[in-house]
Amino acid sequence: MLSFFKDYKYFGIVLLILSVIIISVFYSILKPTKVLPIYQPAMVNAEMVDSTIQHKKRYHHIADFSLQNQNGKTITQDDYKDKIYVADFFFTTCATICPIMTDHMYEIQKEILNDDEVLLLSHSVTPKIDSVEQLKRYAKKKGVNDKKWNLVTGDKKQIYDLARKSYLAVKDFGNGDAYDMIHTENFMLIDKKRQIRGFYDGTNPEDITTLLEDIKTLKKEYQ
């Protein structure tokens, strides 16, 4: 009799293990795959969006651009073709949120250093101050890897339009200058189709962790 129960005890253990495995497999199959949203101007705080596109609910993409990086090289959308990238807006003389944002972008750079699918792009909002030479000094100081991260400067109107009409990332300054702007702490995650897939607080370490996880999620769309 004891032998009978002993045999069934082992059978029960094996059955329990098999049940756990089967349930785990079914859960992994049925669990919905996380998909990042595709942000449109109508979904974003109107303060960040040019009035001409605040109503737009679909087909929003980052516009073509031509700017100079820290090495004096012309950087265009073609340098980011078929790439996922993280974009932000900053200026080198900023003493408040920019140093924190740049340090966090550096942390992202470390995580993606050997990932050929992902790049970084930081736009100066004070291009008259942030010359190529100034960007180069800042890049050296902050540990920028030229192969992964472009700091760009150029025509102020173009940068303003990119910020307000493409990345939906800065506020009007409101001082009478049509192209003055207040940059925000936002990092934007851009997919290979030049669509915005996420906004993150570039000063918040928890948001940086989320951003890195979202990059992994986004990469799965292309597998």
What length is written for the chain?
223
Q: Give strand pairing partners of 189.
A: 86, 198
Task: Flag whether 104 is marked binding.
Answer: no
Compute the C-alpha angle 198/200/201, nearest 5°: 165
DSSP assignment, residue 104? H
Residue type, 223: Q
CB-based contacts of 15, cutoff 8 Å, min separation 6: none
Tell me the β-bridge partners of 89: 123
- Residue 94 labeled ligand binder: yes
Q: What 3-state DSSP class applies to 28?
A: helix
Query: Which DSSP state fits 1?
Result: -
Confirm or deny that 123 is annotated as ligand binding. Answer: no
- Contact criterion met (CB below 8 Å) for 70 and 135: yes
The two tokens of residue 46 are: 């109107």
Residue (of 194, 150, 149, 196) closest to 169 by Cα position: 196
3-state secondary structure of 32: coil
Positions at the binding site for Cu cation: 94, 98, 183
Detail the residues annotated as belonging to a binding site.
94, 98, 183
